[in-house]
Homo-oligomer: A and B are copies of this chain.
């Protein structure tokens, strides 16, 4: 859309403060002669952010070009919760913990680019994964003429050794354990942590226990169940054990419950948008609890027509989120449909957490559509006339009978 030949003047880098993005930072300065703006966000990954500031300063970033933000509430409220309203599961299993974080990071990078007059953005995702797609589709959707730098696709480094050498040449501090290659790669935020690569590459080999970061194993979990309740309002969790909490606090609290009880581990071979299969280990303790609780509260407050339509739309919704089309008209259309259904999804779900199991033991709601009067085997006082079933079946069968007669003649 715009010529790609103009020099880049200022670039907003998604900066973690770690070795890899520090190398990118230096490489950007050297390759483009561009001013670098660093953006470091707390999405609940569990790392301190201030060291990133110190490191950025050390690498020559101007103080006014360092953005450090706590986005945890926005992340859960505007991204995680809307997605959970859809009961989204990618390929039947994956709760999309990495996918859902990318649009928010992208959005803030674009906003910072506007605020600082930057003409480019940069991310640290590799050229084989989905994240590059998620970042870049979001960037482009929000700012069609933005320049995008994806160093892992562009630079000439060929190996870990090349990167370390570059770091050393440029006085980038290298933690001891970062010299060699990590045995697997990790992504984390308040919703989940994922691990993939290297020691996990053979899908027929069980992941070693040291891969797991956020949950005890079911075997190590307590021998006694933990019982909790989650309150919902308009499809979103609003309280735990009767205590109202903010979205991020809800998820953090559920993470604690899940971690202790060995909940939310998934070992999956999934299909990437870029075309290959990959094996991932995900830990989504709080999200797993939330998914079950949300379905349970829907089970008594959502009409059948709404629920079945949601179930049919869900795989598409999950695919869109996974592929990186959060900021697309079709995701927004599906969200509008889903949100429309959640108006009366409220009430309280009781759950028993036990060694990897999330067991729904109760659900109640002032908006319940469950009627024991209708369903009872006992006298229902005329609420339902069993004779109606005969006509219902007869007309549902009519086309099948016509068909049966035809096929018989065939």
Contact = CB atoms under 8 A, between A and B. Distances in A.
A126 interface: yes
Contact of A340 (B279, B296, B311, B333): B333
A21 interface: no
Contacts of A393: 132-133, 136-137
Contacts of A218: 354-355, 357, 359
A397 B356 contact: no
Query: So how many copies of this chain end up in the complex?
Result: 4
B140 A401 contact: yes
B1 A383 contact: yes
A402 B371 contact: yes
A287 to B, nearest CB: 15
A385 interface: yes
Interface string A365-393: 01111111011111100111111111111
Interface stretch (A7-15, A29-37, A202-210): A202-210
Contact of A386 (B126, B361, B368, B396): B126
A31 B379 CA distance: 24
Residue from the set A3, A185, A356 with the largest chain B CB neighbour count within 10 Å: A356
A350 interface: yes
Given A126-B386, A306-B330, A406 B325 contact: no
Contact of A133 (B185, B302, B389): B389
A394 interface: yes
A389 B141 contact: no
Given A311-B92, A388-B390, A391-B392, A325 B300 contact: no
Interface stretch (A54-62, A75-83, A265-273): A265-273
A208 to B, nearest CB: 11
Interface in A218-272: 218-219, 223, 225, 265, 267-272
Nearest to A185: B377
Determine the interface band of chain A, counting residues with CB < 8 A from chain B.
35 or more
A268 B405 contact: no
Interface string A67-94: 0000000000000000000010001110
Given A295-B92, A304-B399, A277 B371 contact: yes
Contacts of A336: 336-337, 339-340
A2 B136 CA distance: 28
Contacts of A126: 377, 386
A359 B375 CA distance: 36
Contacts of A181: 377
A152 B304 CA distance: 26
A174 interface: no
A143 interface: yes
A327 B333 CA distance: 20
A394 B397 contact: no
Interface stretch (A96-104, A161-169, A312-320): A312-320
A319 to B, nearest CB: 6
Interface in A192-207: 197-198, 201-206
Nearest to A159: B379
Contacts of A153: 386-387, 389-390
CB-based closest 3 A-B pairs: A391-B391, A127-B386, A275-B398
14 contacts: A91-B299, A153-B387, A205-B362, A206-B362, A269-B299, A271-B308, A276-B398, A277-B369, A305-B325, A309-B333, A333-B341, A337-B337, A344-B407, A356-B359
Interface of A: 1-4, 87, 91-93, 126-128, 132-133, 136-137, 140-145, 150, 152-153, 159, 181, 185, 197-198, 201-206, 218-219, 223, 225, 265, 267-272, 274-279, 295-296, 299-300, 302-312, 314-316, 319, 325, 327-330, 332-334, 336-341, 344, 350, 352, 354-357, 359-364, 366-372, 374-379, 382-410
